[in-house]
Amino acid sequence: MAASSSIRLSCCFAVLAIAMAQNSPEDFVGPHNAARSDVDVGPVTWDDTVAAYAQGYAEQRRGDCALQHSDTGGRYGENIFWGSAGGDWSAADAVSSWVSEKQWYDHGSNSCSAPEGNSCGHYTQVVWRDSTAIGCGRVVCDNDGGVFITCNYSPPGNFVGQSPY
């Protein structure tokens, strides 16, 4: 009996390690830097202070999974993501969603041609040249509410009328 309990416990730790590996700092930083490299913008690095802010806000959303921005008081830029219950939504899913807005962004005119209900603002924050540090947080929401992921950016970007790069 003890041996089978030990095997089950090891299995659970392995599943937890795999889930955590899909949401590690590098799992957020890597795809950000890939998108930034595509437009010749320097890399971002992980910042534990920014990450603590992001995780704290994600924890606040655990009860309702509401797709609402935090009030950063101008300290940070912010992207948020919600994935429905039943999906194993990861860092890669969130960043991919934000970067997918690139298709509507025209750098030459610094304009967005996104269809109604969409935007380019998540993408432009990902590639904002002056944002050099990120921190992200993720929670599985209560009552099958899905997954809430947020990334914060320091210094903030997305200033109206300014080009991201």
Length of the chain as a residue count: 165
In a domain, 82, yes or no: yes
In a domain, 37, yes or no: yes
Question: Can you read off the two tokens belonging to residue 128?
Answer: 């904002």
In a domain, 42, yes or no: yes
Residues forming a β-bridge with 151: 79, 136
In a domain, 9, yes or no: no
Confidence of residue 95 (pLDDT cuts 50, 70, 90): very high
In a domain, 14, yes or no: no
For the whole model, what pTM was predicted?
Answer: 0.86
Residue range 1-28, pLDDT digits in tens: 444 443 444 333 333 333 455 899 999 9
Residue range 39-94, pLDDT digits in tens: 999 999 999 999 999 999 999 999 999 999 999 999 999 999 999 999 999 999 99
- Asked if residue 133 lies in contact with residue 50, where contact means CB atoms within 8 angstroms, the answer is yes
In a domain, 20, yes or no: no
**Domain that residue 136 falls in:** 25-154
Residue 156: count of CB within 10 angstroms of its CB: 17
In a domain, 3, yes or no: no
Q: Which CATH number belongs to the domain containing residue 145 in this structure?
A: 3.40.33.10
Give the count of domains, the chain: 1
